[in-house]
Structure 1
Amino acid sequence: MTAAYLILFALTAVWGLTFPLVQAALASASPLVFVTLRFALAAGLFALLVWPRAFRLQRDFAWKGLVLGLFLCGGYAFQTIGLAHTTAARSGFLTGTLVPMTPLMDRRVPRLRRNRYHGPAAGGRTESR
């Protein structure tokens, strides 16, 4: 097995372990408090690591990053709220289904052009538009 496969396996295992860990953490805090602390920690680490370069960012670039970050935070909040009401296995399964569903949803995005990688990414569905 190559190093790339081992790294991929390790990252998948770590991702899968986060679901029971988050569910255990929810015994001590509400979902929104947990997500707030999680994003505050990430923002603090980001500020420490990138602070000198952050001033060189263009205002438009930073604004778009902030908007995307808010959407990401909302997604994490909804997922964490859902995890508080279901099993870790079910939450992980539902989250994992987004991987093959993403290329299938490209038909809903105007002006998005399909390429030869969309079919294999969706698990073999290869018909064109």
Structure 2
Amino acid sequence: MSSDRYGRGSKREPTFTRPALAPGLLAAIVMMATVALLDSDLYYIVRFVVCILTAIVAFYSIRASRAWWLIGLVPLLVFVNPIVPLPTWPVEVPTDLIFSLTLLFPLVLIGAAVTLKVPDIQEEARRGR
């Protein structure tokens, strides 16, 4: 086996980046850390932060040709959207369901953040594509 095949002595750089890693992990950490604030007014600001970071991860899932991650990311965007919150009429969303989803959605964010690989634009430009 040659030493230049992605091994320790390799001079070759990866041809992809993981731009969704930081926003996805940050959104998951913020959601998990603020579970206690669900009934607080401060949770409104948390929803803005998580919604923006989730929209960034959703954008990179489309760019990475992994649109099936939108199955989990779009409901999260609807759930944490602070501009148009979930309606309380005609159906009241139970607090237990909100708590459960707040603990479940970070798993979706972490999964998407870790698995999304976007082709490196600079590498493609060097290859002449």
Taking structure 1 as the reference length, the TM-score comes to: 0.28
Q: Higher RCO, 1 or 2 (CA under 8 Å, sep at least 6)?
A: 2
Relative to its length, the structure with more helix (as a share) is 1
Taking structure 2 as the reference length, the TM-score comes to: 0.28
